[in-house]
């Protein structure tokens, strides 16, 4: 990412790109200040920025390795139509968690409030599908655990959309058209209070340039299963799409920042 791109992104997120300034004001239902806890660099930290890396864990496509890697100031997730996960009806190239050193990572536990800001580039080849295509998840760590929150590319009445849903209760937080966001950088601001039952909340903001295309919140919702919550990024999609939208594709992420509400 160029210096100009960093400046523009910082302005779009109200200073989130600056480790000194931090992000804008807290979600209205929460008082306090955001403390920067995680600010990796793709060029400096590479995949060491993450707790785990799930790059073709079934070894289905060795010729395509690495599917996940740092390139310049971006993290790139590449998906080929031949790639398969360990469950062969789906594909997965994802990273998890927020690593702060070689031996430590951040743990999002019940009662805490966290905020992630970053930029994502969705090419026209990464299309919405009739079945699931997730590009961000919140999950309890461990095999077989259900997602808590999913940011997905979904076809609704034939139209491509990007949405955020609380997966536990099936609650749609927000949705907007995907096609205007193709082939350009979109700024993401995601906030979550990790709470059981009705103690949780989320806020989801997408900005395209100077335009806010989504700013939706939900309070009094369940955002906790057990142990802790952990973010995941990448491409995780079903092969059951009926719209012909599965192509060789990729996703770029940049300028990832993690803040905790003090």
| Region 67-74 average pLDDT | 98
Q: What is the pLDDT of residues 16-28, one digit of tens each?
A: 333 333 444 444 4
Does the structure show a pLDDT above 80 at 87?
yes
| pLDDT for 142 | 84
Q: Taking all residues of the chain, what is their mean pLDDT, rounded to a whole number?
A: 90
Q: Are 116 and 258 in contact (CB under 8 A)?
A: yes
Q: What is the pLDDT of residues 95-119, one digit of tens each?
A: 999 999 989 999 999 999 999 999 9
Distance CA 116, CA 189 (A): 6
| Helix segments in 19-174, DSSP class H | 42-45
- Categorize the per-residue pLDDT at 179 as very low, low, confident or very high, splitting at 50, 70 and 90: very high
| pLDDT for 30 | 52
Looking at residue 84, the DSSP 8-state letter turns out to be -
Q: Are 142 and 227 in contact (CB under 8 A)?
A: yes
Question: Strand pairing of 52-55 and 90-96?
Answer: antiparallel
- Categorize the per-residue pLDDT at 31 as very low, low, confident or very high, splitting at 50, 70 and 90: low
Q: What pTM was computed for the model?
A: 0.88
| Region 185-190 average pLDDT | 98
Q: State how far the alpha carbon of 166 is from the alpha carbons of 9, 59, 185, in Å.
A: 27, 31, 24
Q: What is the pLDDT of residues 219-247, one digit of tens each?
A: 999 999 999 999 999 999 999 999 999 99
Distance CA 4, CA 129 (A): 34
Domains of the chain listed by start with CATH number? 3-256 (2.60.120.200)
């Amino acid at each position: 990412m160029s210096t100009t791109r960093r400046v523009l992104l910082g302005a779009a997120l109200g200073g989130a790109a600056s480790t000194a300034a931090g992000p804008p004001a807290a979600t209205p239902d929460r008082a306090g200040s955001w403390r920067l806890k995680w600010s990796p660099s793709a060029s400096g930290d590479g995949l060491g920025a993450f707790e785990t890396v799930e790059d073709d864990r079934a070894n289905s496509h060795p010729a395509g390795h690495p599917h996940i890697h740092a390139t310049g100031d971006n993290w790139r997730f590449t998906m080929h139509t031949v790639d398969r996960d360990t469950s062969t009806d789906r594909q997965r190239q994802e990273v998890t968690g927020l690593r702060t050193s070689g031996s430590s990572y951040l743990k999002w536990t019940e009662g805490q409030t966290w905020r992630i800001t970053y930029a994502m580039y969705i090419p026209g080849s990464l299309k919405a599908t009739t079945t699931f295509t997730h590009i961000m998840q919140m999950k309890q760590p461990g095999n077989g655990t259900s997602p808590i929150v999913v940011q997905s590319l979904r076809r609704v009445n034939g139209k491509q959309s990007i949405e955020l849903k609380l997966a536990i209760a099936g609650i749609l937080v927000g949705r907007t058209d995907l096609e205007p966001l193709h082939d350009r950088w979109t700024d993401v601001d995601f906030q979550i209070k990790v709470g059981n039952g009705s103690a949780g909340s989320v806020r989801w903001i997408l900005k395209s340039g100077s335009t806010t295309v989504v700013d939706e919140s939900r309070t009094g919702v369940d955002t906790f299963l057990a142990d802790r919550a952990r973010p995941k990024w990448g491409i995780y999609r079903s092969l059951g799409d009926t719209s012909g939208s599965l192509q060789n594709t990729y996703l770029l992420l940049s300028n990832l920042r993690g803040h905790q509400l003090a």
